[in-house]
Amino acid sequence: MSFKRVPQKFPATIKEVIIGAGDKTVTLGGENVLPFYSFDDKIKNPPRVGVEVSDLGPNRDLPELGKFYAGAEKIADVAKKACTIPGADFISLVLESADPNGANKSIEDCVALCKEVAAAVTLPLVIQGSKNTEKDGQLFVKIADALQGKNVLFMSAKEDNHKGIAVGAVQAYGQKIAAESAVDINLAKQLNVLITQLGIKHESIAMNVGTAAAGYGFEYVVSTMDRIKLAALTQNDDKLQMPIITPVGEQTWAVGESFKSEEEAPAGWGPRESRGIAMEVATASAALAAGSNAVILRHPASVAAVSKLIAALV
Amino acid sequence: MALKGLDIFKLLPKTNCKKCGNPTCMAFAMKVAQGGITIDKCPDISAEALAQLSEASAPPMKALTIGAGDKVYKLGGETVLFRHDKTFVSKSLYAVTVCQDCVDEKLPKIKAVDYERIGERMIVDLINVEFSGDKAKFLDTVKKAQGAARTLILEVSDADAAKAALDLVKAEKPILNGANESNWEAFNKIATEAGVVLGVTGKDLDVIYDTVQKLEGAGNKNLVIDVGSVSIKDAFANAVQIRRAALKDQDRSFGYPSIVNLSKLAKGDDVLQTALASVFTLKYGSIIILSNMSYAQALPLYGLRQNIYTDPQKPMKMEPKIYPVNGADENSICAITVDFALSYFVINGELERSGVPVNLIVSDAGGYSVLTSWAAGKFSAGTISKFFKESGVEGKVKSRNLLIPGKVAVLKGELEENLPGWKILVGPNEAVGVVKYLKDFKG
């Protein structure tokens, strides 16, 4: 007897969000199957890989990373160089130095940097803020104005600042946003409801449902994403059909496995850089298998491996 | 589960005799349907009904054991496709493959990965021994691998070599992975005689399915399915469809654990291998064979596995005790948190980043997060001072500075009353703020 295949068909699809402009765009979402289940139906758009570029510059203490960005002194040059990584689909600029509890760089300086980077890159642009909700709220609106027509995605709109960003950046200037919540399907849905109630269309909203490094409570990330995709596809819940974008690099490079030097680490752990890459790659791959439509990574070797994985599975 | 309580009830004697330990036949039927009790606990059920129900109420996926002594591993027995539906029960096992030419070089590296994470010892669980055409050399390699004190997988489709290898190691209950559509009869005999689990493979799902059915027809249900190495895409499609057919579509011929051989699929690309191992840890790889296992790969993979195979109803817990961070001694400042592993990891990571020596005291809080355990009364001034006394914190540290999470600042006053001599310091609300707090802190 031969095996009876029962493809899983759903009455719904994940909505598409396009970022970038002109001939350089990427589309997130659009699939009507579970992650990588190409045997059930064709996956419309493969998951995408973004390269994280901090406005503090790359960590040149990591030999391979330092070598890759050698000669790129200005952030715009770093971003331009990041576009050449095989498998890179978009650039994600992180405005870390805007943090009022850190360097507290002025909004004008941040806007100037964004303009410079936007002019230099050959891939679509995602802008990550300082993690300070108040500052980000003001910042994103100004950047949205300065980058009119670039169709950038702002990470992240949270419960406390989504209103201003939705109105000031999305409605006013046609940019995109990612709704950020903390690893909980109900919080994710609630924020999507609030944003759509402001009149923002599906095609402008992605979501960042939160993440952790592998081994650090990642089961919550998996179950949150599993449940979101199942609700979106089986129940046709249009408040959960936004594509998911997951900033993996910032989490994975902050855990002990990735930041301890070979001297600080337990014996046998080996060079720091390969540990950080493995942590970034393992976490990103699991996030994709659980339902992320895009991941943001820091290391060129991670970008190469994860994009290879995607190409092999789609 | 295929059967509803009512379907089972119809076939019971309906005498409410209570001999099964349940008040009524209906209650018994409901329990059987949920898998809480087996149908044979009814003493008066007819043989005919028993046969009918045993077949239908059998678990959708076989649970097997491999290995012997202290190296016994459980495979399969899964009941759900997504961990939030209930829980995953048998964690993925990681294996490293060896061949006649690389065994001497690889065995010491396999043994080198050995550490503990949240109470679980992390090692390369299994060693896969590949047959490369020469029986004598294969047997020699098997003997060497046997010396590494790991449960083995014998990857061999030559019946003669398989039999000879099993003669050496069958007492240790390895897996014999080598049956296919052409040799299944001979391999069935060899595996059954040795009493070991048999691995089955084929070029596609139809061939595999057909061979499994033939083996089942011959009475062998002690099987694992090798999802094959035609391509990464095929291997993933096979792993998912096999598991889904068993658990969702009740197709018991695919109700077996799986083997995924990444040493063949990743083709020497170690970073891609890490990516694949991560995907198959989530999606249905019961045994994942790698070409090597470095600490760099092990740390995220074992951590991920530990997360995924946590019972959603039982959070991961740390052992309550004092954890010295950054080389803390008895005079270093103390900080307290709860025993929920995630809370511990977050604060521990930030403390490490600060570089300041700290005695991190993990208090028994029932495995919940800071706010949850506080709300449940498990992380209060009373429980903390009780824990201090019971575990003799005051005899172990000389510092009398105790940093508490900012979210439970309300505990400060009561703690100062309960712990005389201690200075209670209120930390930041979020763990990330502790780096700056400690750097600015002047004893």
Q: How far apart are the C-alpha atoms of B24 and A261, rounded to whole Å?
A: 64
What phi and psi, each to the nearest 5 degrees, are found at residue A295? Answer: -125, 150
Average pLDDT of B436-442?
87
Structure confidence at residue B110 (pLDDT): 97
Structure token pair of residue B369 = 């997060």
Which of A97, A265, A251 shows the shortest CA–CA distance to B295? A265
Beta-carbon count within 10 A of A70 CB:
11
Q: Quick one: which H or E segment has residue B176? A: strand B175-179
Q: Do A302 and B306 touch (CB under 8 A)?
A: no
Q: What is the pLDDT of residues A144-190, one digit of tens each?
A: 999 999 999 999 899 999 999 999 999 999 999 999 998 999 999 99
Residues of B in contact with A305 (CB under 8 A): 269, 271-272, 274-275
Is the pLDDT higher at B311 or at B34?
B311
Beta-carbon count within 10 A of B433 CB:
14
Degrees, nearest 5: CA angle B101-B106-B112: 170
Structure token pair of residue B153 = 């997988």
pLDDT higher than 60, residue A109: yes
Q: How far apart are the C-alpha atoms of A281 and B278, rounded to whole Å?
A: 8
What residues does each domain of chain A span? Answer: 14-252+286-313
Q: Do A309 and B276 touch (CB under 8 A)?
A: yes
Q: Choose among B84, B205, B302: nearest Cβ to A223.
A: B84
Q: What is the pLDDT of residues B287-305, one digit of tens each?
A: 999 999 999 999 999 999 9
Q: How far apart are the C-alpha atoms of A221 and A308, rounded to whole Å?
A: 23
Q: Rg for chain A (alpha carbons), in Å? A: 19
Q: Which CATH class is domain B61-309?
A: alpha beta
Residues of A in contact with B269 (CB under 8 A): 305, 308
| Contact present, A241 and A232 (Cβ < 8 Å) | yes
Q: What is the pLDDT of residues B318-354, one digit of tens each?
A: 889 999 998 899 999 999 999 988 889 889 888 988 8
How many residues are there in chain B? 443
Taking CA atoms, B414 is separated from A311, B427, B428, in Å, by 59, 16, 19
pLDDT higher than 90, residue B4: no
Taking CA atoms, A78 is separated from A92, A105, A261, B121, in Å, by 12, 19, 25, 42
Give B1's pLDDT tier (boundaries 50, 70, 90): very low
Mean pLDDT of chain B: 93
- Indicate the fold that domain B322-440 takes in CATH: Rossmann fold (3.40.50)
**Helices H, strands E: what count in chain B?**
18, 17
Structure confidence at residue B441 (pLDDT): 85
What percentage of residues in chain A have a pLDDT greater than 90? Answer: 95
In the 8-state DSSP scheme, what is residue B266? Answer: S
Q: What is the pLDDT of residues B213-245, one digit of tens each?
A: 999 999 999 999 999 999 999 999 999 999 999
In the 8-state DSSP scheme, what is residue B269? Answer: -
Give B5's pLDDT tier (boundaries 50, 70, 90): confident
Q: How far apart are the C-alpha atoms of B1 and B250, rounded to whole Å?
A: 8
Structure token pair of residue A1 = 């007897």
Q: Side by side, which strands form the sheet with A176-180?
A: A205-208, A176-180, A153-157, A125-128, A90-94, A48-54, A294-297, A245-247
Structure token pair of residue A208 = 């960042």
Q: Choose among B240, B294, B310: nearest Cβ to A219.
A: B310
What phi and psi, each to the nearest 5 degrees, are found at residue A158? Answer: -105, 175
Q: Do A308 and B83 touch (CB under 8 A)?
A: no
Q: Do A282 and B304 touch (CB under 8 A)?
A: yes
Beta-carbon count within 10 A of B269 CB:
16
Q: What is the pLDDT of residues A26-39, one digit of tens each?
A: 999 999 999 999 99
Structure confidence at residue A17 (pLDDT): 98
Q: Which residue has the tokens 């993996």?
A: A248
Q: Choose among B240, B271, B294: nearest Cβ to A37.
A: B240
Residues of A in contact with B301 (CB under 8 A): 214, 282
Cis peptide before A97 (omega within 30 of 0): no
How many CB pairs lie under 8 A apart between chains A and B? Answer: 181
Q: What is the pLDDT of residues A273-292, one digit of tens each?
A: 999 999 999 999 999 999 99
Q: Which of residues 89-148 of B touch A (CB under 8 A)?
A: 112-113, 115, 117
Q: What is the pLDDT of residues A202-246, one digit of tens each?
A: 999 999 999 999 999 999 999 999 999 999 999 999 999 999 999
What percentage of residues in chain B have a pLDDT greater than 90? Answer: 76
Q: How far apart are the C-alpha atoms of B317 and B118, rounded to whole Å?
A: 7
Q: Do A309 and B275 touch (CB under 8 A)?
A: yes
What residues does each domain of chain B span? Answer: 5-57, 61-309, 322-440
List CB contacts of B142: < 8 A, sequence separation 6 or more. Answer: B129, B152, B154, B165, B168, B169
Q: If you write DSSP's letter for every residue of B57-126 in order, what string do you get?
A: HS-SS-EEEE--GGG-EEEE----SSGGGS---S--EEEEEE-TTTHHHHHHHHHH-EEEETTEEEE--E
Residues of B in contact with A270 (CB under 8 A): 294-296
Q: How far apart are the C-alpha atoms of B424 and B335, rounded to whole Å?
A: 10
pLDDT higher than 90, residue A86: yes
SS (H, E, C) chain A: CCCCCCCCCCCCCCCCEEEEECCEEEEECCCCCCCCCCCCCCCCCCCEEEEEEECCCCCCCCHHHHHHCCCCCCHHHHHHHHCCCCCCCEEEEECHHHCCCCCCCCHHHHHHHHHHHHHHCCCCEEEECCCCHHHHHHHHHHHHHHCCCCCCEEEEECCCCHHHHHHHHHHHHCCEEEEECCCCHHHHHHHHHHHHHCCCCHHHEEEECCCCCCCCCHHHHHHHHHHHHHHHHHCCCCCCCCCEEEECHHHHCCCHHHHCCCCCCCCCCCCHHHHHHHHHHHHHHHHHHHCCCEEEECCHHHHHHHHHHHHHHC
Q: Choose among A6, A269, A282: nearest Cβ to B295.
A: A269
The reply to whether B72 touches chain A by the CB within 8 Å rule is: no
Q: Do B300 and A217 touch (CB under 8 A)?
A: no
| Contact present, B429 and B347 (Cβ < 8 Å) | no
pLDDT higher than 80, residue B85: yes
Q: Choose among B294, B302, B342: nearest Cβ to A217.
A: B342
Residues of A in contact with B348 (CB under 8 A): 256
Burial of B277 (0-12, 13-18, 19+ CB in 10 A): buried
Give B2's pLDDT tier (boundaries 50, 70, 90): low
Average pLDDT of A74-78?
98
Structure confidence at residue B50 (pLDDT): 82
What percentage of residues in chain A have a pLDDT greater than 70? Answer: 100
pLDDT higher than 90, residue B83: yes
Structure confidence at residue B40 (pLDDT): 81
Q: What is the pLDDT of residues B182-204, one digit of tens each?
A: 999 999 999 999 999 999 999 99
Burial of B377 (0-12, 13-18, 19+ CB in 10 A): exposed
Give B368's pLDDT tier (boundaries 50, 70, 90): confident
Predicted-complex ipTM score: 0.97
Average pLDDT of B367-385?
92
Q: Is the pTM of this model over 0.95?
A: no
Degrees, nearest 5: CA angle B149-B153-B158: 130
Average pLDDT of B410-415?
94
Mean pLDDT of chain A: 96
Structure confidence at residue A191 (pLDDT): 97
- CATH code for the domain defined by A14-252+286-313: 3.20.20.20
Give A117's pLDDT tier (boundaries 50, 70, 90): very high
| Contact present, A65 and A301 (Cβ < 8 Å) | no
Which of B379, B370, B368 shows the shortest CA–CA distance to B340? B368
Q: How far apart are the C-alpha atoms of B47 and B236, rounded to whole Å?
A: 42
Which of A147, A214, A196 shows the shortest CA–CA distance to A174? A147
In the 8-state DSSP scheme, what is residue B133? Answer: S
pLDDT higher than 60, residue A78: yes
| Contact present, A239 and A193 (Cβ < 8 Å) | yes
Give B443's pLDDT tier (boundaries 50, 70, 90): low
Would you state the CATH architecture of domain B5-57?
A: Orthogonal Bundle (1.10)
Half-sphere exposure of A155 (CA within 13 A, CB side): 26
